[in-house]
Chain A
Amino acid sequence: QQKVQQSPESLTVSEGAMASLNCTFSDGTSNNFRWYRQHSAKGLEVLVSIFSDGEKEEGRFTAHLNRANLHVSLHIREPQPSDSAVYLCAVSMTGNYKYVFGAGTRLKVIA
């Protein structure tokens, strides 16, 4: 059964500094990876999706995928206080409609 773990549990960064979040998964056949963020128990906002090894950039958000290492990361460039939220990693597989989420990283950006 797929297990998705995120680290760190919480992260505080200064405005403008790079924020880096990590996600590891257990099923090496997974090929659908997404990062979402959630503000205070509200709906989720998709940030970036990645399906093959390498890098995918969406604005200030960049995802890096290394399937051999079972690892996907999210880097937030020039974070703002409004980026403070819980960031969630979701893993699935094409053809499989089941999505497994990590527990999240709570990011706080201080001015």
Chain B
Amino acid sequence: AQTIHQWPVAEIKAVGSPLSLGCTIKGKSSPNLYWYWQATGGTLQQLFYSITVGQVESVVQLNLSASRPKDDQFILSTEKLLLSHSGFYLCAWSLAQYEQYFGPGTRLTVL
């Protein structure tokens, strides 16, 4: 059974439109959660991490925000998309600081 789900699988959005990407973790209690972004052909960059519900730390500022409304849910959002937001978004979880396990990703195209 898949532990980590990301939605949507892919999204095509217009510049200036809002965005919400989601990630849920099943079967793990109090995981650490992470958001990463990868431009096409680019390096994977960590955006946010969360150790506990309601607390999110920013690592890189890309005019995005993240929230953790539940222990098993991590949301990435923005009110206004930029062309530069296009890319591949990955959610990951870990227990303490052991291996990170990644979701299947969301492909975002901003036109």
Contacts and interface: CB of A to CB of B under 8 A. Distances in A.
Contact of A101 (B40, B43, B51): B43
A contact residues, range = 20 to 34
Contacts, number: 53
B contact residues, range = 20 to 34
B44 A97 contact: no
A20 interface: no
Contact of A41 (B51, B101, B107): B107
A86 to B, nearest CB: 10
A59 interface: no
Nearest to A93: B97
Nearest to B43: A103
Interface of A: 32, 34, 36, 41-46, 49, 88, 90, 92, 94-95, 97-104
